């Protein structure tokens, strides 16, 4: 299991537990076991879903954790497969089978991996323009998906309170509706600290989810 993924998984569930009062120990152990197994991706997905099915109190985290499962596959599992596996028909079929799974968090985690490789600090403008290429004509799907981040970039320089307040006043698109706050807060505060968590507890309209996802991203970035 990839170390960044493991740290993100643990941090996210731990912070979610504190915010919600729900004990995550069993789910955490189950997911770490699944992520660490030497199985094909779809077999892992089946066991992953089984773990969440057994712990329905955490179901709102299922799809963002699916993104972690995917990142773990790219970072760890794929090394055990053929060099061109991600170009194979088998992987294309898997992508088709899982096309409705996960969230836009996957792109942010891929971007953070790239930042690690290039030893640069994650920044919202760089994420949008250099990684997602939202200004390029051929990437207008990305522009549409991330338009809420694009038009509100100034919030990354503000505060958790402002981000949460603003999120409640604008009509967010479906893809970013739940992720807008944790994404923006991450670019505002890439390094997790207790003050950020306290501010999310105070100002977020969806505090348990926002704290869990922000903690996941920040821990993955560490």
Torsion, CA 6, CA 8, CA 14, CA 17, rounded to 10: -120
Residue-level pLDDT at 180: 97
Residue-level pLDDT at 80: 81
Q: How many Cβ atoms are within 10 Å of 137's Cβ, its own excluded?
A: 7
Phi, psi (5° rounding) for residue 100?
A: -95, 5
DSSP state of 158: S
Residue-level pLDDT at 67: 97
DSSP state of 21: -
Q: Do residues 139 and 133 touch, judged by C-beta distance below 8 A? A: yes
- Which residues, other chains included, contact 122 with Cβ-Cβ below 8 Å and sequence gap of 6+? 111, 112, 115, 186, 187, 190, 221
Q: Which domain holds residue 132?
A: 3-221
Q: How far is CA 134 from the centre of its chain?
A: 19
Q: How far is CA 106 from the centre of its chain?
A: 6
pLDDT in tens, the chain (222 residues): 999 999 999 999 999 999 999 999 999 999 999 999 999 999 999 999 999 999 999 999 999 999 999 999 988 888 888 788 888 999 999 999 999 999 999 999 999 999 999 999 999 999 999 999 988 877 778 888 999 999 999 999 999 999 999 999 999 999 999 999 999 999 999 998 899 999 999 999 999 999 999 999 999 999
Give the Å distances, CA to CA, from 62 to 6, 49, 56, 167.
16, 8, 9, 23
Look at the chain and report how many structural domains it folds into: 1
CA proximity to 31, closest of 20, 18, 14 = 14
């Amino acid at each position: 299991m990839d170390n960044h993924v493991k740290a993100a998984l643990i941090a996210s569930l731990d912070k979610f537990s504190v915010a919600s009062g729900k004990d995550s120990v069993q789910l955490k152990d189950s997911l770490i076991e699944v992520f660490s197994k030497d199985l094909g991706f779809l077999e892992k997905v089946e066991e992953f879903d089984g773990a969440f099915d057994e712990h329905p109190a955490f179901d709102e985290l299922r799809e963002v954790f699916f993104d972690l499962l995917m990142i773990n596959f790219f970072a760890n599992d794929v090394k055990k497969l053929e060099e061109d596996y991600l170009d194979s028909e088998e992987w294309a079929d898997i992508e088709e089978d899982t096309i409705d799974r996960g969230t836009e968090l996957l792109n942010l985690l891929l971007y953070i991996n790239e930042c690690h490789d290039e030893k640069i600090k994650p920044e919202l403008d760089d994420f949008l323009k250099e990684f997602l290429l939202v200004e390029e004509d051929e990437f207008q799907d990305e522009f549409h998906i991330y338009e809420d981040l694009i038009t509100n970039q100034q919030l990354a320089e503000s505060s958790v309170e402002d981000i949460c307040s603003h999120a409640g006043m604008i009509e967010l698109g479906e893809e970013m509706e739940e992720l807008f706050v944790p994404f923006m807060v991450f670019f505002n505060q890439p390094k997790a600290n207790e003050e950020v968590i306290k501010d999310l507890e105070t100002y977020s309209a969806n505090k348990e989810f926002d704290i869990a996802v922000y903690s996941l991203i920040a821990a993955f970035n560490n």
